[in-house]
A and B are shown apart, each in its own frame.
Chain A
């Protein structure tokens, strides 16, 4: 059995009745009988103006005009029908179409026939509330004439239509108390400029105006270029190799090739090599062009060669610093019965006890493993294992000071 679908039946009957309706309509006038006259004076309009195309249809044999005005525009195709007042056809263009500059192709048709066709042009609104769109980048450039940033200005009317070519823009640029003014003219709707970096770092403030419109404040930072000369000075409390005090290494004010102080935070390495070819490295980041770094004193008399460097960028001349022996004397006591070994007092060059925690290396001529003690109040002691050790000689090394004591059996 065939199922009954009421909705389909309904739809079909509607369609059929619709077709029937059409065939019943009185016959239309033939297209050739419709005549209209274009009444508007100008086909050029300003963006934002109301556009109403008027045609005189009164001479036509059929005052009931049933044609359309077709408008082809940048975003598509629109058809509108007229209002008829006293035999005059008024076609009011939708507001959207009147705001955008450019051309509109209008065609009036009736039935299949084109009655009238014309291109309308809409010009940017140059009279009121113009605006400026300005883009720039990068926001920071390096000093030294080779780097540049770029500014693009697009003057528009209030409907965002680009203004016609050769619109004048006033460009101002402020850097380092120099004010530079220029007049630009648009070409192809916009105007642009490469702003080359000056030699001195700082900040560019730029702006563009056009009649009443102004751009936002444009800021381009000119950063210092790469570092050039670097040198180092060494500052210390004393010249003794006590392994505890802090040495301060300080650079000059590091500048680029144009005399700008390099950016804060730039990391500077200091390479240190001593007499025994032991290497150390410290580093510091710059503030106002000066980098500071610290290091502990060596724990034996030696000579340092310090070289400052910004890797890949610049390297300074090495400086040297000599460290004197810190320890003046070391006493050693060994009580064989108890196995007690007492080192100390250990005095420095100023006859003071050496700092606590200083390493004391004790070596026995026959033994391979040295003992390492830490000093406290200039002293150190340990109990040596009694069994199996015959101690003939004890060598004590403190801060590079070596002393040997012999013990007879």
Chain B
């Protein structure tokens, strides 16, 4: 007899395709992972058998992730391109998931209607929606779906021992392991072990007559009987897991994951971190949360007891740090590596059959009767409506979550970047993206150029990256010092990584790029700014590549796709050769044969009701707490906090609401005053913390001393100010500060400048640059330099002058040597130097010897952010001398030299002065380099001070720098011969340009009256945030 097709399943499939297919184009590309999988697919589409990928992390092996989904996408991309393959794969996963849930439910319930209901519910499962539409974890979904398909086969094999079931089960398991390695490993524990229990239980119950009469002895006897069958299956599966992705295991052994744990929201305490709780607990459980008592009740019945235990464990593991259980069960190590959201995903999938059963009973079965009898049909219908509506609402909310709270930057048009990288051999260098989010993977998929960054952190090998708990360099600002610390090391020593281009989609990083010596190129059409560093050598043609033995490469290329083909063939054969009756289903017992209402079920319904009320109460209390803590104008502290937050997020209209109406400041006036305030804090600062102390309080006024700490790319800023608040008409308001009164003298400023342009190559040719078009490197001279040790830190300080006729862009690299000329370490001058020098301009510099931070496990990683964090390099022996190599190249931009220092004075060890901007550009971030000299006017050290405010044209700002009381230092070596400018000895090059050097003006230094540093000198460097054309 041919079974009728299940109409619920058909509807579920159609609905699933429609619902997910319709939305996928708007969600999938904004997910965290989808584009990463696309990048891997691109790899296989171009080099199927070669696992080495140059695009990320100075090269990594794709054997770090099971390949099947990626390889299938690579094959699909031959039909309609990469994006097509992504969508096709996603839709396939939807179909696999729905049918998987159907088969799993059929297995558990033995009722096709129940299974049909479950498959309908699977379409709207919020955890599935989240995994697909928010996380984009395609392999994970495919893995669990195929595993669900395998379960009935495993059941059939265990129950009646027919080999064809075993073969099909193995074949499906092989597909699972090739798709996602974690799924079958944990799937064994959480799905297959309970299934084995279920089979044994079923057989034992048959023997005993009913489940009620089943005793442990019978169960144990059956288990012993079936042990061989179970072991056969288990060993075979284990072998499959090992062999199918053997290259993966070999790679894991060879390149053990040295990555320090990267924080993941699923490990948070959900009560503390509300957003993590929402994303990793509330959303995946969704409506299911209301029926938890029912699920546990059903699963803790005798037949399902093993599934019940598994569900309990999964649900517990999914709670992150909210309960100590997950850490205890998994252990510290596994807890920090695994993302725990998958446990919740599996738990929510596991309850779907029972939810299907509940819905069936509610819609057509005993529950319907019970409710209708008890409360009437209307109430039943109303309850049904509420249930359906909430299910759909949660689905819609989940689907559109990334719109409510964008997790990714706006979609970036990659074409201009791809074109830029293809142009003029730009792909011979590495690049770095900043602020691209997960879209960086899509860029990598489209270009041959390589990035130093990457988006699959388990595969990275550079200690600069593995030692940091940072997902990507590109979003390093979200990871505080760890991120920016990593980033700074890449930016300061780019030649080590052949890093020449930075694409920035976030202006936060701009000052950091500027002060570490990068220069801005014209913005691309898509609004991405490009930064370039000159003097970086291209990637060598012969690159280090990890050799993978041929047999592993062949295995990797052949086995996974073969498992898929075999599974497909067996599946098709079964349909063609046999009645498509679901064999497994017939093996199950109908557990709902009698649809008589059972009393206990109705009790549990009441428990459910109480549970729902509890949850609603809990949620309401949460909302109330949230409101009372955040209502802005009920207390002076609240209004100040709200005002600062509004300013921080540039919500000026909102900030104006908090301004006292008594101040008569119109929104226009307020906006004007805000718009002129710019600078490190105003444009690049992010409010980190705010503390306030009430100084004077009356009924209607409150004077607060507010200490705000701001994170900027360059330093951590602590700002203390007095803010007055007033109480007016039942609300507290902030009294705005007085606006600036100073009026610049000239209305119109004219200023003349020499500007520079470099043609590069004058001929349009893709050949090597003609030798007459090669730009001459400017000659610079290291006037003075010395190696000092101060407070245990070694640093090379010096003065360098551009003695050429063209502007120079300089990069200084210092190497320290031991007594016998052993190389001890080398580093570049980072931001304590002016990188761009006009002809005859001089700058001091400092080279600090920085270690890759936190390389050793014993180092304590600071919890809070500090951009000035510095890890001193530890030397094996005392450095005795040093050498300097300067690379100077033509600079054509960032030569703004119009900020001057005036009215300097020294009062009680504090240095006062004013900076005046005489030019026509706004100096967004002024940097003051303060050089300290000894009594012989020898440079001892240099310190950098970033001013927090910008300086607008013809305006001045004052500064106040408390000088150190004393500088302890020892000079180890001065002015060595090993100073090379573009490879030419320092003096040789410079004397040609400047035959006689005269001593400097004695007036140029400022007296400090300090004993250890009687003089200081000032150099000013300016970052222009928005250059005026």
Contact = CB atoms under 8 A, between A and B. Distances in A.
Nearest to A282: B900
B753 interface: yes
A280 B740 contact: no
Interface stretch (B70-78, B639-647, B837-845): B837-845
A374 interface: yes
Interface stretch (A109-117, A289-297, A328-336, A342-350): A289-297
Interface in B986-1013: 992-995, 997-998, 1000-1001, 1003-1004, 1006-1007
Interface stretch (A60-68, A136-144, A182-190): A136-144
B1001 A309 contact: yes
A356 B742 contact: yes
B771 A283 contact: no
Could you say which of A271, A276, A281 has the most chain B C-beta atoms within 10 Å of its C-beta?
A: A281
Contact of A283 (B756, B806, B900, B954): B900
Contacts of B599: none
Given A246-B746, A285-B897, A265 B904 contact: no
A276 B1003 CA distance: 14
Contact of A265 (B807, B900, B998): B807
A56 interface: no
A313 to B, nearest CB: 6
B476 interface: no
A312 interface: yes
A331 to B, nearest CB: 19
A38 interface: no
A267 B956 contact: no
B673 to A, nearest CB: 14
A278 B900 contact: no
Main secondary structure on chain A at its contact with chain B?
strand
B22 interface: no
A374 B741 contact: yes
A148 B998 CA distance: 24
A357 B958 CA distance: 14
B749 to A, nearest CB: 9
B628 interface: no
B1000 A309 contact: yes
Contacts of A294: 900, 918
Interface in A369-402: 374-376
B754 A307 contact: no
B1003 A313 contact: no
A4 B715 CA distance: 77
A355 B902 contact: no
B995 A271 contact: no
Contact of A271 (B742, B746, B1004): B1004
A123 interface: no
Contacts, number: 142
B1018 interface: yes
Contact of B743 (A140, A264, A268, A357): A357
Nearest to B901: A281
Interface residues of B, number: 50
A210 interface: no
Interface string A210-254: 000000100100011010000000000000000011100000000
A146 interface: yes
Interface in B718-754: 738, 740-743, 745-746, 752-754
A195 interface: no
A384 B1003 CA distance: 43
A314 interface: yes
B741 A296 contact: no
Contacts of B745: 244-246, 355
Interface residues of A, number: 58
B801 interface: yes
A295 B902 contact: yes
A147 B991 CA distance: 11
Interface string B303-314: 000000000000
A312 B994 contact: yes
A286 B752 CA distance: 9
- Chain B CB count within 10 A is highest, among A140, A279, A287, A375, for A279
A391 B580 CA distance: 103
Contacts of A278: 903-905
Contact of B1003 (A146, A267, A271): A271
B514 interface: no
A298 B753 CA distance: 26
B742 A263 contact: no
Contacts of B1001: 269, 271, 307, 309, 311, 315
Given A226-B994, A311-B1000, A313-B994, A265 B754 contact: yes
Contacts of B806: 263, 265
Contacts of B916: 295-296
Contacts of B803: 312
B904 A279 contact: yes
B805 interface: yes
Interface string B779-812: 0000100000000000000000101011100000
B1000 A312 contact: yes
Contacts of A286: 754
A215 B324 CA distance: 82
A321 B798 CA distance: 35
A135 interface: yes
A376 B993 CA distance: 53
A111 to B, nearest CB: 47
B668 interface: no
A266 interface: yes
B754 A285 contact: yes
Nearest to A237: B745
Contacts of A120: none
Nearest to A283: B897
Contact of A273 (B746, B840, B997, B1003): B1003
Interface of B: 738, 740-743, 745-746, 752-754, 756, 771-772, 776, 783, 801, 803, 805-807, 838-842, 895, 897, 900-905, 916, 918, 954, 956, 992-995, 997-998, 1000-1001, 1003-1004, 1006-1007, 1018
Identify the 4 closest CB pairs spanning chains A and B, nearest first.
A357-B742, A280-B902, A263-B805, A265-B754
17 contacts: A140-B805, A244-B745, A246-B746, A264-B754, A265-B838, A281-B900, A282-B918, A285-B838, A285-B897, A293-B900, A293-B918, A309-B1004, A311-B801, A312-B842, A357-B740, A374-B741, A375-B741
Given A219-B772, A315-B1001, 7 more contacts: A140-B805, A142-B993, A146-B995, A307-B1001, A314-B998, A356-B742, A357-B740
